[in-house]
């Protein structure tokens, strides 16, 4: 009996020790400044990062460290993974969560293609299964990897005021998925109410679908009319890249996203 309790105590002790060591490792990553090389890549590749408020810059660097420690990057179609690729993608992904407690807990892999890539899509139509190959610039799997085209990820970061950013888009899907379903309703911020989010996004989505069907120009990309989850992802792209336009045209969507991310890019 005494041996049993001794083994139990040893097991519990090992678990506690592992928990503390992981916690300390995480604290170290979050508080550590980026290396000079990584900082130079960040400044060159992701211009939006130099516009964020001073008090968020250290947080961003810490979260990029954590991301690079957690996520393995794999090059596809012969692409060699460089620090440029890792830091650029990590920085864009971390910008979304720089000021909130949201984290990409389930993410361990990012696959990167040199350019647009082919992806197999399966549609179930009654008894018929239709398979087709489509060309994509990014893809986000539920509880799984993010797949990106490097040339589009790089361009998206360089043009940071056109409202299009494939990395923001795919990582918005990852954030959405943390709630258990990729349905356009992420886990909300501490000051948010589901009823308010649903009212704002329902109204904005229905209006968006009508405008797109009539062929009108919209600040949120027309692709958002594909479904709630796409509407959320393209809204996130615009929130960071054309915040003033989004705030003017869809003030309530802007406000909800601002509460979700605890950020106000219109002031950057
Ligand atoms: Zn999407």
Is residue 159 situated within a structural domain? yes
Based on its alpha-carbon atoms, the radius of gyration of the chain, rounded to whole angstroms, reads 21
pTM of the shown model: 0.92
What distance in angstroms lies between residue 226's CA and the mean position of ligand 1's atoms? 9
Domain boundary among 113, 148, 173: 173
Residues 26 and 147 in one domain: yes
User: In the predicted model, is pLDDT for residue 184 greater than 80?
Assistant: yes
The confidence score (pLDDT) of residue 9 equals 78
User: In the predicted model, is pLDDT for residue 130 greater than 90?
Assistant: no
What distance in angstroms lies between residue 170's CA and the mean position of ligand 1's atoms? 6
The confidence score (pLDDT) of residue 187 equals 97
The confidence score (pLDDT) of residue 143 equals 87
CATH code: domain of residue 240: 3.40.390.10
User: In the predicted model, is pLDDT for residue 126 greater than 80?
Assistant: no
What distance in angstroms lies between residue 119's CA and the mean position of ligand 1's atoms? 13
What distance in angstroms lies between residue 171's CA and the mean position of ligand 1's atoms? 9
What distance in angstroms lies between residue 169's CA and the mean position of ligand 1's atoms? 6
pLDDT in tens, 204-249: 999 999 999 999 999 999 999 999 999 999 999 999 999 999 999 9
User: In the predicted model, is pLDDT for residue 157 greater than 90?
Assistant: yes
Q: Tally the domains of the chain.
A: 2
Residues 122 and 77 in one domain: yes
Is residue 8 situated within a structural domain? no
What distance in angstroms lies between residue 35's CA and the mean position of ligand 1's atoms? 33
What HEC string does 70-123 produce? HCEEEECCCCCCCHHHHHHHHHHHHHHCCCCCCCCCCCCEEEEECCCEEEEEEE
Residues 155 and 33 in one domain: yes
What distance in angstroms lies between residue 161's CA and the mean position of ligand 1's atoms? 19
What distance in angstroms lies between residue 61's CA and the mean position of ligand 1's atoms? 27
pLDDT in tens, 58-106: 999 999 999 999 999 999 999 999 999 999 999 999 999 999 999 999 9
**Distance (Å, whole) CA 95 – CA 240:** 9
The residue-averaged pLDDT of 107-122 equals 93
Range of the domain at 224: 183-268
**Distance (Å, whole) CA 70 – CA 87:** 13
Residues 202 and 262 in one domain: yes
What distance in angstroms lies between residue 182's CA and the mean position of ligand 1's atoms? 10
Residues 61 and 112 in one domain: yes
């Amino acid at each position: 009996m005494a041996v049993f309790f001794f083994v139990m105590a040893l097991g519990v002790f090992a678990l506690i020790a592992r928990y503390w060591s992981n916690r300390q490792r995480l604290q170290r990553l979050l508080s550590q400044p980026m290396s000079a090389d990584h900082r130079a890549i960040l400044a060159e590749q992701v211009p939006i990062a130099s516009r964020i408020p001073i008090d968020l810059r250290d947080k961003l660097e810490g979260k990029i460290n954590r991301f690079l420690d957690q996520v393995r990057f794999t090059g596809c179609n012969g692409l060699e993974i460089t620090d440029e690729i890792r830091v650029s993608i990590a920085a864009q992904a971390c910008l979304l969560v720089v000021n909130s407690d949201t984290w990409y807990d389930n993410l361990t892999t990012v696959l990167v293609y040199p350019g647009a890539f082919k992806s197999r899509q399966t549609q179930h139509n009654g008894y018929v299964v239709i398979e087709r190959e489509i060309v994509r610039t990014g893809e986000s799997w539920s509880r799984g990897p993010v797949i990106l085209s490097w040339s589009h990820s790089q361009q998206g970061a360089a043009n940071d005021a056109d409202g299009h950013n494939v990395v923001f888009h795919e990582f918005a899907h990852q954030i959405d998925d943390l709630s258990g379903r990729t349905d356009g309703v992420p886990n909300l911020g501490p000051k948010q109410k589901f009823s308010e989010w649903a009212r704002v996004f329902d109204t904005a989505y229905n209006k968006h679908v009508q405008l797109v069907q009539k062929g009108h120009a919209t600040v949120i990309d027309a692709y958002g009319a594909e479904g709630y989850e796409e509407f959320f992802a393209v809204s996130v792209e615009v929130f960071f890249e054309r915040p003033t336009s989004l705030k003017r045209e869809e003030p309530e969507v802007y406000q909800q996203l601002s509460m979700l991310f605890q950020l106000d890019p219109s002031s950057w």
